[in-house]
Structure 1
Amino acid sequence: MADEVARASGIISSLRKGGRLDEALALARRERERHPDDERLARAHSWVLCDLVRRDGGDPAALATALRELAGLSLPEKGNEVLYKNLLRRLTDAAWDLRRAHDEDGLRCLLDALREAVRLEPDAEWLSAGSPRSADGRLVLSTSEAEPLLRPFLSAFGGSSEDLDALVAWCGPEPFVLAEDLRHGSWEAPGEKNGASADALAGLPRTPFYVEWASPRRGAVGITAYRRSAAREYSGPSVSIERSVVRDARLAGELRTHEVYEAVLSPDGRSVLGEPVPCADPAVRATFVRRFEGRLERVSGYGFVRLPGGTSAANDVLVPERMVTRHGIEDLSVVSGVAAASFREGEKGDEGSWGFVADSVERVVPPHPADVEKRTSGALRVARGGAAFVGNVLVPTRMVSELGLRPDQELTVRARLRWDRRRRTWDWVATEVSG
């Protein structure tokens, strides 16, 4: 029987390769009835149906019949990868042929046939089920596999809400962003240009995003998306900030670092669709780029412009050593300029944090002695917590101990401004004490 099955499979393949598809199909069906569990016959039968898809792509009824028959053969993914890739390519070619001919009625009929005979599943569900290729009498494709097939429909139906609704009913609610290479709304066939994609993008929400870095050499842009959700029943809208890398050589050369733009983004944030435009929302811009003015505290070669208020250092502006050197910024100088958000990667499981780094320094006012130093006299006062003061000048505990100072002792102190990290204020601290 094995020889008989092998001979029948060979004849089916020969008829198919000779273009005699109807004869090959008839023989395949007859032999499958005799040997329904033989995988060699099922594979030969499937290749006949795959070639019929190419021949009958313009006949939606015949196409749907061939796809359903192919699904009924239940060939596994493993060992039949080439078959399924060829099938998808032929379906895609049939759709592009109709698109190039501007046959939208034909595309609608093709979509109806696909909705009847092909089921799309999200990648995670498809993989978790063990990559099945048939279910409910329909052929199963993952959404990532189907993305080339969706492009001709998107290109043709981008301006029609009714046609898009039909497409969404089959492939899911966000067909525009299934593939990372659908950038700039380029859904046209090779060599074809039209404005349908721009019309489709016009109805989608735009997301503000911040350009952390851009590398034309690598053809990549590091962005941070500022996503705002809709209001929920018991709370207001929420905001999430998501970092990602967009691989796009053109954008890497055109987008400015530390600028905020708006564009349609894919859900994973890795694709920018359409042309980005500068963000006009001042509140969003201030989240990432802001003006600053404050007094600088030198720390080794670099420094921080300390901005009073709040309970953390998140709003302080780091001034890199190169800027400190270039502008000759002294300790306690008043510095103003523009700062941009910067993300610092965490260590040992830390998630990392955002901070602000000076992007440009516009004005530096060197410290005037009268503003940063003073002399004052009075009795030494010891607060309940043990801190010692002369007037509003803090006398460090070390100095009190070393000099043997006593409460109510009359003193004259020289003081200098110093940043209090705990209280987040500028305080006067004694540098010299005399009795």
Structure 2
Amino acid sequence: MKKFCLLIFTLHAASAIAQTGALQAVVNKKANELEKQVIAWRRDFHEHPELGNHEVRTADIIAKHLTSLGIEVKTGVAKTGVIGILKGGKPGPVVALRADMDGLPVTERVNLPFASKVRTMYNGNEFGVMAACGHDSHVAILMGVASVLSSMKNDLHGTVKFIFQPAEEGPPAGEQGGAELMIKEGALEHPKVDVIFGLHINSQTEVGKIGYRPGGTMAAVNDMQIIVKGRSAHGAYPWSSIDPIVTSAQIINNLQTIVSRNLNVTENGAVVTIGAINGGNRSNIIPEKVEMLGTIRALSDQDEKMLIENVKRIATKTAEANGAVAEVKIPYSNHYPVTYNNPELINKMLPTLQAVAGKENVLLRPAVTGAEDFSFFEQKVPGLFFFLGGMPKGQDPLKAPSHHTPDFYIDESGFTLGVKALCDLTIDYMGGK
């Protein structure tokens, strides 16, 4: 009887493997056929970028596409987010796939026929708007995945939830948005998500390659505001002042000792950066106050706590030593936790990534101090977030324009690999469950 049960189990397993292989062959064929369409979607989104919580046009195109595929659609989630629910023909887990939609206040400098000409007001100043981090690619790829998986829904063992998320780069001042708000509004419920997969195009990783890392893969981030209050005086009589500009300069210099003298850099990286300093309006007036804005990034909860404590201590004590006062707000407007890839999920799904890209093209990469609000999803359910190559073959990664810059550029020939990878991860996870 024991041998008979073992035989039955083996036959079922072999049948499942064969079926999964057949589905992957269909994915491969359909993804190749969709390549031109995915690129066309991406170019349209690139030419018409929208800032966080304002992705109205983008969301409308996504919703209409999902509806045309027979996918159940929910709109207006977390302002402009779109959720599609595809119920497979057979019972199984709920797999979520996520793409972010928003652009950045960056004026594009790349000479492309579909370059963005969009202008907008941001924080009181006029800027161009550009998909300068590749979110246009993410949306187009996930729309392609929806096309492929919906065409084989009767063979899917479970449900696929497509999450198109606004405001990954942060919502406008005074607003909520992004992954955190999507979760609050039920993006991982009804039906309850078992696992989530996501990708990020990378302009400094060669096309055809995939990068991954188990555990902490992207940093936790806190923005910060430091206001230094002193006493104003005529610039000719500085002894009558408590100079907030000199005090701010000392604070900036002293903050550099936090990473260099408090962090074991052989174990983890971290960043304390002041990105803006504003104070005064004339050459001969010492102002009353100075405002500094910056970012803190860490790859562990422990390091994050240490950085915050030290920034507050150094800023307030340095100001106090000069007779000034420093007020520190951390976070000032946003906080993302560490993007943490579930190690067990990585071990389980790594063979899928290797099969779709070739083992030699799937690379273990170091952690990075960039941040991602995909981390909020991974706090709730096991997640796998990987990097998709978008750099032209043969280019020097050190010379490739980085994300968030006017010269950011993506080679579109890597999109089909992204479609295949997300489809195969979904099918294999469902088969494995």
Same fold (TM over 0.5): no
Normalization by structure 1: what TM-score? Answer: 0.23
Higher relative contact order at CA 8 Å, sep ≥6: structure 1 or structure 2? 2
